[in-house]
């Protein structure tokens, strides 16, 4: 739980301090008044990064540094960002101890719900991959590092593909590396989907008051059994095509998660109401899985999503929020306050 936060030269704030309650905190103001910036600072303090901007952009305009200081669970947490020749240099401190990166045990569990997430089931696969990977980062030790290693290996292979004179032997080494890392990523994603499938049908029926059966399926052109070996074969067999395209055609970076209602693909057959209820279900599952893995209730950050939901779904969301410390931004306080 975060009790207070001080923002110095952060985004639109020069030097402001905010105090919070253990329950629901409603942040009210017109557009462009800094509501989302405040929410962003809480996420930065909790997990060490923003969800919508590069570190350099978090520094107030024409300033050289930004600092976010929060007190949470009895600990003093500081994130400082300095502009060094237009490159951000970030340093964390917890109770005065400097850290260059926040390991999982040094982060605060958080769940962000913002308007872009309402497109989780209708937009392209990238947003669903990010949903799975962000959840994995908060529930699996070492997954953040695994994710970075895979991105670096992918960038190396793609770079070689664009250099036609490079030998296939050099690319083969990265094929092996990608297939090893990709196998670990997919195993983690499959475990998360399995965990969500144990609860999603019952939770959807509860929130929707319908009898439809919801389920998740991992979607990959690579056979999931012995994934690493199968991915290596795909990378080798697609080398010619990949060279022509200049990018890697197979791997976790191009896969997806399908969502079904009564065995019908949601992105094709579901109504807008069904889609929004399912999105709400996935965010609830995210919070529950984080709580199970971390042994601590996550902080919930809701950026102007109440206005995007109808009355029934607002009520469902409100009931779920009660045990959590929650931060809600809104331009219309009445829309939110009437539910609490």
What pLDDT digit, counting tens, does each position of 4-27 carry? 999 999 999 999 999 999 999 999
Provide the pLDDT for residue 257: 98
pLDDT > 90? residue 236 = yes
Strands (E), the chain: 2-10, 13-19, 24-28, 65-72, 75-84, 87-94, 97-99, 110-113, 214-219, 256-261, 264-265, 299-303, 326-330
- If you search the block for the tokens 């069904």, which residue do you land on? 274
Provide the pLDDT for residue 89: 95
pLDDT > 80? residue 164 = no
Residue 296 to residues 107, 112, 117, 292, 299, Cα–Cα distance (Å): 12, 16, 23, 8, 9
> With 0-12 CB in 10 A as exposed, 13-18 as middle and 19+ as buried, what is 84?
exposed
Taking a C-beta distance cutoff of 8 angstroms, is the pair 103, 137 a contact?
Answer: no
Which of 302, 308, 309 minimizes the C-alpha distance to 28? 302
> With 0-12 CB in 10 A as exposed, 13-18 as middle and 19+ as buried, what is 19?
exposed
For residue range 294-339, list pLDDT tens digits in order. Answer: 999 999 999 988 888 888 888 888 888 889 999 999 998 888 888 7
* Residue 160 bridge partners (DSSP): none
Provide the pLDDT for residue 232: 98
Q: How many helices (H) and strands (E) does the chain have?
A: 11, 13
Across the chain, mean pLDDT equals 94
Provide the pLDDT for residue 312: 84
Average pLDDT score over residue span 180-194? 98
Provide the pLDDT for residue 338: 81
Distance CA 72, CA 164 (A): 53
Provide the pLDDT for residue 308: 83
pLDDT > 70? residue 166 = no
> For the chain, how big is the Rg over CA atoms in Å?
22
Distance CA 77, CA 96 (A): 8
- CB under 8 Å to 5, separation ≥6 — which residues? 17, 18, 20, 38, 41, 42, 45, 68, 69, 70, 71
Indicate the pLDDT class of residue 74, thresholds 50, 70 and 90. Answer: very high
Average pLDDT score over residue span 281-306? 95
- If you search the block for the tokens 């109808």, which residue do you land on? 310
pLDDT > 80? residue 206 = yes
Provide the pLDDT for residue 26: 93
> Which one is predicted more confidently, 224 or 308?
224
Average pLDDT score over residue span 280-301? 96
Average pLDDT score over residue span 81-94? 95
pTM (predicted TM-score): 0.93
Q: How many CB atoms lie within 10 A of CB 47?
A: 23
| Tokens coding 292 | 């199970």
């Amino acid at each position: 739980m975060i009790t207070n936060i001080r923002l110095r030269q952060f985004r639109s704030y020069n030097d402001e301090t905010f105090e919070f309650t253990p329950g629901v905190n409603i942040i009210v103001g017109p557009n462009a008044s800094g509501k989302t910036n405040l929410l962003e600072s809480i996420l930065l303090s909790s997990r060490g990064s923003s969800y919508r901007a590069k570190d350099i952009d978090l520094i107030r305009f024409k300033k050289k540094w930004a600092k976010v200081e929060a007190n949470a669970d009895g600990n003093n947490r500081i994130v400082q960002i300095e502009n060094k020749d237009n490159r951000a240099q970030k340093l964390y401190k917890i109770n005065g101890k400097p850290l260059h990166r926040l390991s999982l045990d040094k982060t605060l569990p958080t769940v962000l719900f913002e308007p872009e997430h309402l497109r989780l089931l209708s937009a392209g696969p990238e947003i669903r991959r990010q949903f799975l990977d962000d959840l994995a980062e908060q529930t699996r030790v070492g997954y953040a590092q695994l994710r970075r290693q895979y991105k670096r290996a992918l960038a190396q292979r793609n770079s070689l593909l664009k250099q036609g004179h490079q030998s296939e032997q050099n690319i083969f080494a990265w094929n092996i590396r990608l297939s090893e890392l990709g196998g670990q990523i997919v195993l983690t994603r499959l475990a998360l989907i399995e965990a969500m499938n144990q609860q999603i049908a019952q939770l959807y029926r509860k929130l929707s008051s319908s009898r439809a059966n919801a389920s998740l399926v991992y979607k990959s052109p690579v056979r999931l059994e012995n994934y690493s070996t199968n991915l290596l074969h795909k990378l080798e067999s697609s080398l010619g095509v990949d060279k022509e395209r200049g990018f890697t055609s197979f791997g976790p970076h191009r896969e997806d998660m399908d969502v079904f209602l009564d065995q019908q693909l949601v992105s094709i057959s579901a109504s807008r109401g069904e889609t929004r209820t399912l999105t709400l279900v996935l965010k609830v599952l995210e919070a529950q899985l984080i709580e199970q893995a971390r042994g601590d209730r996550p902080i919930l950050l809701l950026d102007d999503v109440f206005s995007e939901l109808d009355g029934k779904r607002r009520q469902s969301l409100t009931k779920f929020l009660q045990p959590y410390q929650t931060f809600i931004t809104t331009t219309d306080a009445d829309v939110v306050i009437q539910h609490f």
